[in-house]
């Protein structure tokens, strides 16, 4: 019994001793952290003067500080702060306190009291302003602490009476960022007086009249900060903000414009009186007039801001809105009394004009038009002033504001049409381009007259390709009034086509929409356009003429909505329709032609584009993936046949349904990887001796390399992938690398073990990296290759390379197919080269040794970051390959997920005896280190595991993005 008791005593004692033993490392770590503060303290003690101390502080500011060491460093800095007499050193210490308060993981509530105490004895205004900035940083770091917030507000109110503008600015900024509207604030009105309980907005508004313009600006910005934090500004502020619109200081006027706009949005229907008049007006109308007046401000920056602000005031009355387009003061903008009211007033006064005395019935009062106007005279014609401004930034802002207001008011859109059309003649290309875009956005509300269309079409002479293509797009969506307008537009577009042949596709597309929008206007012109005659045969035009194709595109698109038009066609027009319907099906619609076979009627093509067909296609896609999931129950030949058939079906589905092309191609590529893997793991390959299976080994090696290439396509060529799909792609890549490792081990001599050992270690690192990156996705990868590897990971880490290879081989053959689940939206990146077309047989001739420019025009869809990823490859007949990186300015973005590449590629070569073809294609460059998912996941664990190198170096490569286009070139020998 005693022995048993003694044993229990020892057990309990051992447990008691173990607790401090466990805490000891933690305490030791905690003591080792403040080394930063100790080093700083030693440096500051070594400083002989203020200059040395400032140098030590500057050196310390360049080094990072851990969150655990911040408090100790702050104590050292504050201790030296009280000893220091030099203002510059104390200023640097105050700025360091601000930086340290922003340290991630540090809560600055422990240094609030010490920082506030430093304010009491500080005499330098600059240091005081920096300390208040530190308190502002602390307050923003502790938004949930009402006690700290209240203390900081009281500190700000206490120092608002400082004589230095910087201190007052910081105090106002503190009130704007931390103040609460409903909570009363104790403001010290002065020494020896009682504390007044006032609202924070009232305190800030007192400084709207400060003598320093910088303080007035800070007060306005503090009030705007309160609004951004969700607090409702009092309406009484409106009059004070309106007075600041005439301030002498530019920044004050700019902030006042924002303040007036905010109040007009908060109280639009409030009624405000007009000075020196008995009239009243809505607040939003009054604010609109005052901001309109600022379009004539002396500062161009204020004019830009005022013009932009006008565009967002959509609640203004139509009368005031239309007045901004007219420079004339309409009746001084006063409400005129009717004749009955004037006669009644004259009768009540008892006075009548006798007619004997000159002007005896003149009004007795003297009118001042600047005081009785409902809106200021500057508001009249505000947009006219803005569109005629000398600064192009103001003109652009005025055009954008007109666009926003016109979109919400069709009547205003019609009135501002002439002004926008006049801007097409602006001297600055950016202004012209913006005017075209604006007119495109409001095109649903307007119809162009012939004189307006003439001005618009004059822009087609512009040398800028962007301007011309923007105008083509404008004509696509604009309505015109008469058939003469159609004729004029066609004539100018054909001139454009003749002068700039590279605009061919853009002009054809424009005429397609013009014809479909105006079928009744095109009908009277058909005979003239097609040169047909009721009695005589006319010569058949040349189908290679782009101008004739443009006319046919216009006519055929108009004929879709006009069934009487085909009766005016001649026989060769029907033949040309059949040709264009096959060659340019995206420009020529299907037509029902009377008296002919329905070979020309391709209405059945459009039948399958409904929502029902898309849903059935999605169902077929999902059923195909579900069918493939049963591959585990089939033998190898049956599994391969099933994968072959499914891949073929998915490829055909992508061709028929453009909406699901990305998803279908993604699934087909994934299944192709699985098919290659199954073929490489056939049993007959692995049962033979190594010398007898060299041919099969080469096949398996090529399959593994192809799988790797396909996985990079899956990862970087498709957008909209979720983390689960990325994990499946990396899983397939890991299988391919395991296959490569097995094949390397089978063909390598046994004496050479060092490379095999390093390959095995690298593979284990990649498995470990996969586990860290996709930890959340591992439960969905059950019975997969990675799942079985992770179960065997302790054994793999300690076994020999030969045994590891055998385990990998067995695991790879026994692992199941991972079920692929598609995200909702997945799109594949693709590119189409428009120019060069590759159809010309005329070689591009140039002198050998010199360069010739080849114009490249291509459209890109669903390409992420094309400026860095898209490259142009030129492949010469002798096997040389040049890769060119286009400039960022060569890319345009006409729409969401769409880009346009217009660039030039310079070619050069030695002399050839006869012309040959070069191939031009677009490539998508990728780097495995740029994967957003991998980089974000690696940030999560790299903080906790320092010093571990990445398991795999960044793999860089290119993926073909477009079909190659062949171009004939002929380098001629130089003449001597």
Q: With 90 as the cut, is the pLDDT of residue 745 above it? A: no
Average pLDDT, stretch 24-28? 39
Q: How confident is the model at residue 330 (pLDDT cuts 50, 70, 90)?
A: very low
Report phi then psi at 856, rounded to 5. -115, 125
The CATH number given to whatever domain includes residue 967 is: 2.60.40.10
Residue 811: count of CB within 10 angstroms of its CB: 20
Spell out the alpha helix ranges (H) of 597-635.
603-607, 611-628
Decide if 117 is inside a domain.
yes
Same domain for 839 and 792, yes or no, is no
Q: Could you tell me if 327 and 381 are in contact, meaning their C-beta atoms sit under 8 angstroms apart? A: yes
Across the strands, what pairs with 900? 859, 892
Q: How confident is the model at residue 687 (pLDDT cuts 50, 70, 90)?
A: low
Residue 954's pLDDT is what? 66
Residue for token pair 């996705």: 777
* Nearest residue to 875 (alpha-carbon basis) of 969, 974, 747, 762: 969
Same domain for 77 and 128, yes or no, is yes
Average pLDDT, stretch 246-272? 90
Q: How confident is the model at residue 873 (pLDDT cuts 50, 70, 90)?
A: very high
Same domain for 142 and 204, yes or no, is yes
* Nearest residue to 477 (alpha-carbon basis) of 438, 437, 432, 444: 444
SS3 for 404-445, per residue? Answer: HHHHHCHHHHHHCHHHHHHHHHCCCHHHHHHHHHHHHHCHHH
Query: What's the burial of 564, exposed, middle or buried (CB within 10 Å: 0-12/13-18/19+)?
Result: exposed
Decide if 584 is inside a domain.
no
DSSP, residue by residue, 807-873: HHHHHHHHPPPPPP---S--EE-EEEEEES-S---S-EEEETTS-EEEEEEEEEES-SSHHHHEEEE
Q: With 50 as the cut, is the pLDDT of residue 448 above it? A: yes
Q: With 80 as the cut, is the pLDDT of residue 856 above it? A: yes
- Domain's final residue, options 814, 840, 855: 814
Indicate the range of 103-107, 853-857, 904-908, 934-938 predicted with least confidence: 934-938
Same domain for 792 and 872, yes or no, is no
Q: Please tell me which residue, 529 or 75, carries the higher pLDDT value.
A: 529
Average pLDDT, stretch 827-856? 85
Q: Supply the mean pLDDT for the chain.
A: 77
Same domain for 619 and 759, yes or no, is yes
Q: How confident is the model at residue 13 (pLDDT cuts 50, 70, 90)?
A: very low
* Cα 550 to Cα 453, 490, 555, distances in angstroms: 19, 9, 9
Distance of CA 760 to the CA centre of its chain: 43
SS3 for 222-258, per residue? Answer: HHHHHHHCCCCCCCCHHHHHHHHHHCCCHHHHHHHHH
Q: With 80 as the cut, is the pLDDT of residue 541 above it? A: yes
Decide if 572 is inside a domain.
no
Residue 884, SS3 per DSSP:
strand
Q: How confident is the model at residue 181 (pLDDT cuts 50, 70, 90)?
A: low
Q: Quote the radius of gyration of the chain (alpha carbons, Å).
A: 39
Average pLDDT, stretch 216-224? 91
Helix, strand, coil shares, percent, the chain, to 5 = 60, 10, 30
Q: With 80 as the cut, is the pLDDT of residue 473 above it? A: yes
Residue 331's pLDDT is what? 41
Between helices 801-814 and 723-747, what is the axis angle to 10°?
130
d(CA 652, CA 665): 9
Residue 119's pLDDT is what? 77
Residue 471: count of CB within 10 angstroms of its CB: 28
Residue 591's pLDDT is what? 85
Decide if 530 is inside a domain.
no
Residue 686's pLDDT is what? 60
The number of residues in the chain equals: 976
Count structural domains, the chain.
3
Same domain for 802 and 899, yes or no, is no
Q: With 70 as the cut, is the pLDDT of residue 774 above it? A: yes
The predicted-structure confidence for 111-120, as pLDDT tens digits, reads as follows 777 778 777 7
Tell me the percentage of the chain whose pLDDT exceeds 70. Answer: 79
* Nearest residue to 970 (alpha-carbon basis) of 911, 919, 921, 920: 911
Q: Could you tell me if 373 and 334 are in contact, meaning their C-beta atoms sit under 8 angstroms apart? A: yes
Q: Could you tell me if 398 and 307 are in contact, meaning their C-beta atoms sit under 8 angstroms apart? A: yes
d(CA 523, CA 558): 8
Residue 713's pLDDT is what? 83
Q: Please tell me which residue, 195 or 346, carries the higher pLDDT value.
A: 346
Same domain for 761 and 854, yes or no, is no
Across the strands, what pairs with 632? none
Same domain for 169 and 109, yes or no, is yes
Residue 845, SS3 per DSSP:
strand
* Cα 203 to Cα 180, 189, 258, 608, distances in angstroms: 12, 11, 19, 68
DSSP 8-state assignment for residue 278: S
d(CA 631, CA 617): 22
**CA pseudo-torsion sign 843, 845, 851, 856:** negative
Residues 6+ apart with CB under 8 A from 402: 311, 383, 416, 419, 420, 438
The predicted-structure confidence for 45-103, as pLDDT tens digits, reads as follows 666 677 777 777 777 777 777 777 777 777 777 777 777 777 787 888 888 887 877 77
Q: Is the pTM of this model over 0.85?
A: no
The predicted-structure confidence for 923-965, as pLDDT tens digits, reads as follows 988 887 655 444 433 333 333 333 334 444 567 888 888 889 9
Residues 6+ apart with CB under 8 A from 850: 908
Which of 11-15, 354-358, 440-444, 677-681 reaches the highest mean pLDDT? 440-444
d(CA 212, CA 42): 44
Average pLDDT, stretch 450-476? 89
Range of the domain at 129: 36-182+198-268
Q: Could you tell me if 475 and 467 are in contact, meaning their C-beta atoms sit under 8 angstroms apart? A: no
Same domain for 618 and 687, yes or no, is yes
Q: With 80 as the cut, is the pLDDT of residue 349 above it? A: no
Same domain for 677 and 782, yes or no, is yes
d(CA 728, CA 782): 12
- Domain's final residue, options 215, 237, 268: 268
d(CA 907, CA 337): 79
Tell me the percentage of the chain whose pLDDT exceeds 90. Answer: 12
Q: Please tell me which residue, 879 or 795, carries the higher pLDDT value.
A: 879
The CATH number given to whatever domain includes residue 76 is: 1.25.10.10
Q: Could you tell me if 539 and 497 are in contact, meaning their C-beta atoms sit under 8 angstroms apart? A: no
Q: Please tell me which residue, 41 or 311, carries the higher pLDDT value.
A: 311
b/e per residue, 924-939, with b = 16+ CB within 10 A?
bbbebebbebbeebbe
Q: Could you tell me if 903 and 862 are in contact, meaning their C-beta atoms sit under 8 angstroms apart? A: no
Same domain for 808 and 693, yes or no, is yes
Decide if 799 is inside a domain.
yes
Across the strands, what pairs with 111? none
d(CA 898, CA 862): 6
Q: Could you tell me if 890 and 929 are in contact, meaning their C-beta atoms sit under 8 angstroms apart? A: no
- Domain's final residue, options 268, 297, 321: 268
Maximum C-alpha span of the chain: 142
Q: Could you tell me if 203 and 160 are in contact, meaning their C-beta atoms sit under 8 angstroms apart? A: yes
Average pLDDT, stretch 367-384? 58
Q: Please tell me which residue, 609 or 782, carries the higher pLDDT value.
A: 782
Same domain for 780 and 839, yes or no, is no
Q: With 70 as the cut, is the pLDDT of residue 651 above it? A: yes
Decide if 26 is inside a domain.
no
DSSP 8-state assignment for residue 878: T
Decide if 358 is inside a domain.
no
**CA pseudo-torsion sign 564, 568, 571, 576:** negative
Nearest 10 degrees: Cα torsion 41, 44, 45, 47: 160
The first and second tokens of residue 40, run together, are 């700083």
Q: Are strands 447-448 and 479-480 parallel, antiparallel or unpaired?
A: parallel
Report phi then psi at 845, rounded to 5. -95, 140
Across the strands, what pairs with 334? none
Decide if 481 is inside a domain.
no
* Cα 879 to Cα 302, 437, 849, 875, 912, distances in angstroms: 60, 45, 18, 7, 14
d(CA 491, CA 779): 66
Q: How confident is the model at residue 599 (pLDDT cuts 50, 70, 90)?
A: very low
The predicted-structure confidence for 95-148, as pLDDT tens digits, reads as follows 888 787 777 767 776 777 777 877 777 778 888 888 888 888 888 877 777 788
Distance of CA 960 to the CA centre of its chain: 25
Average pLDDT, stretch 654-673? 81
């Amino acid at each position: 019994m005693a022995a048993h008791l003694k044993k229990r005593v020892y057990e309990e004692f051992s447990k008691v001793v173990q607790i401090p033993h466990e805490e000891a490392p933690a305490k030791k770590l905690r003591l080792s952290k403040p080394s930063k503060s100790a080093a700083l303290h030693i440096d500051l003690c070594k400083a002989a003067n203020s200059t040395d101390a400032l140098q030590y502080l500057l050196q310390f500011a360049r080094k990072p500080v851990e969150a655990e060491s911040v408090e100790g460093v702050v104590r050292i800095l504050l201790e030296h702060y009280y000893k220091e007499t030099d203002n510059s050193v104390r200023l640097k210490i105050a700025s360091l306190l601000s930086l340290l308060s922003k340290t991630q993981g540090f809560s600055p509530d422990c240094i609030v009291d010490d920082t506030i105490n430093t304010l009491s004895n500080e005499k330098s205004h600059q240091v005081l302003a920096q300390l208040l900035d530190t308190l502002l940083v602390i307050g923003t770091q502790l938004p949930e602490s009402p006690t700290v917030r209240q203390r900081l507000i009281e500190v700000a109110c206490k120092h608002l009476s400082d004589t230095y503008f910087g201190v007052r600015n910081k105090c106002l900024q503190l009130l704007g960022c931390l103040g609460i509207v409903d909570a009363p604030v104790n403001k010290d009105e002065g020494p020896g007086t009682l504390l007044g309980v006032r609202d924070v907005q009232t305190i800030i508004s007192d400084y709207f009249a400060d003598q320093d313009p910088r303080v007035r600006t800070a007060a306005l910005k503090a009030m705007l900060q309160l609004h951004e934090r969700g607090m409702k500004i009092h309406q009484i502020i409106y009059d004070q903000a309106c007075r600041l619109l005439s301030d002498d200081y530019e920044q004050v006027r700019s902030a006042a414009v924002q303040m007036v706009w905010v109040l007009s949005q908060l109280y639009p229907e409030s009624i405000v009186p007009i000075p020196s008049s008995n009239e009243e007006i809505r607040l939003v109308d009054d604010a609109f007039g005052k901001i309109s007046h600022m379009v004539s401000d002396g500062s161009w920056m204020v004019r830009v801001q005022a013009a932009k602000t006008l565009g967002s005031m959509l609640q203004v009355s139509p009368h005031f809105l239309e007045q901004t387009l007219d420079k004339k003061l309409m009746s001084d903008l006063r409400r005129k009394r009717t004749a009955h009211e004037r006669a009644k007033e004259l009768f009540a006064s008892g006075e009548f004009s006798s007619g004997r005395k000159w002007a005896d019935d003149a009004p007795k009062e003297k009118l001042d038009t600047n005081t009785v106007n409902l809106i200021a005279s500057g508001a009249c014609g505000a947009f006219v002033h803005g569109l005629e401004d000398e600064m192009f930034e103001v003109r652009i802002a005025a055009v954008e504001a007109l666009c926003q207001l016109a979109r919400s008011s069709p009547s205003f859109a019609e009135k501002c049409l002439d002004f926008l059309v006049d801007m097409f003649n602006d001297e600055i290309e950016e202004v012209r381009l913006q005017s075209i875009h604006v007119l495109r956005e409001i095109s649903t509300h307007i119809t162009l007259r012939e004189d307006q269309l003439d001005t618009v079409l004059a822009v087609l002479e512009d040398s800028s390709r962007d301007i011309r293509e923007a105008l083509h797009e404008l004509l696509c969506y604009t309505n015109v009034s008469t058939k003469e307008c159609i004729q004029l537009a066609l004539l100018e577009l054909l001139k454009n086509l003749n002068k700039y042949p590279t605009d061919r596709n853009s002009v054809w597309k424009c005429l397609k929409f013009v014809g479909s929008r105006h079928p009744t206007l095109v009908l009277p012109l058909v005979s003239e356009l097609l040169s047909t005659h009721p009695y005589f045969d006319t010569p058949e035009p040349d189908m290679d003429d782009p101008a004739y194709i443009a006319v046919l595109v216009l006519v055929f698109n108009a004929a879709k909505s006009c069934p009487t038009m085909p009766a005016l066609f001649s026989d060769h027009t029907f033949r040309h329709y059949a040709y264009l319907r096959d060659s340019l099906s995206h420009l020529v619609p299907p037509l029902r032609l009377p008296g002919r076979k329905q070979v020309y009627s391709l209405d059945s093509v459009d039948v399958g584009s409904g929502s029902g067909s898309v849903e059935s296609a999605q169902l077929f896609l999902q059923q195909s993936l579900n069918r493939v999931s049963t591959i585990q129950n089939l033998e190898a030949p049956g599994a391969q046949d099933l994968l072959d058939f499914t891949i073929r079906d998915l490829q055909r589905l992508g061709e028929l349904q453009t909406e699901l092309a990305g998803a279908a191609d993604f699934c087909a590529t994934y299944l192709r990887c699985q098919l290659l893997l199954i073929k490489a793991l056939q049993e007959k390959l692995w049962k033979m001796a190594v010398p007898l299976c060299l041919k099969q080994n080469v096949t398996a090696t090529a399959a593994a390399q192809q799988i790797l290439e396909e996985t990079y396509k899956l990862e970087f060529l498709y957008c909209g992938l979720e983390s689960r799909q990325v994990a499946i792609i990396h899983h397939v890549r890991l299988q391919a690398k395991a296959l490569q490792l097995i094949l390397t081990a089978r063909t390598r001599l046994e004496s050479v073990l060092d490379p095999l050992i390093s390959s095995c270690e690298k593979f284990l690192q990649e498995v470990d990296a996969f586990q860290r990156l996709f930890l959340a996705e591992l439960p969905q990868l059950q019975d997969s290759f990675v799942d079985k590897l992770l179960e065997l990971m302790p054994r793999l880490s300690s076994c020999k390379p030969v045994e590891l290879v055998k385990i990998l081989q067995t695991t790879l053959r026994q692992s199941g197919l991972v079920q692929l689940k598609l995200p909702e939206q997945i799109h594949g990146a693709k590119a189409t080269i428009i120019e060069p077309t590759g159809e010309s047989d005329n070689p591009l001739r140039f002198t050998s040794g010199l360069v010739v420019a080849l114009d490249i025009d291509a459209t890109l869809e669903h390409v992420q970051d094309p400026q860095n990823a898209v490259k142009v490859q030129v492949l010469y007949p002798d096997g040389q390959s040049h890769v060119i990186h286009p400039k960022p300015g060569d890319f345009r973005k006409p729409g969401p997920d769409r880009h346009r590449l217009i660039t030039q590629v310079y070619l050069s070569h030695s002399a050839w005896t006869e012309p040959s073809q070069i191939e031009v294609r677009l490539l998508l460059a990728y780097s495995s280190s740029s994967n957003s998912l991998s980089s974000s996941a690696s940030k999560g664990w790299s903080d906790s595991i320092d010093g571990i190198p990445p398991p795999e170096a960044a793999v860089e490569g290119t993926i073909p993005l477009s079909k190659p286009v062949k171009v004939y070139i002929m380098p001629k020998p130089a003449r001597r």
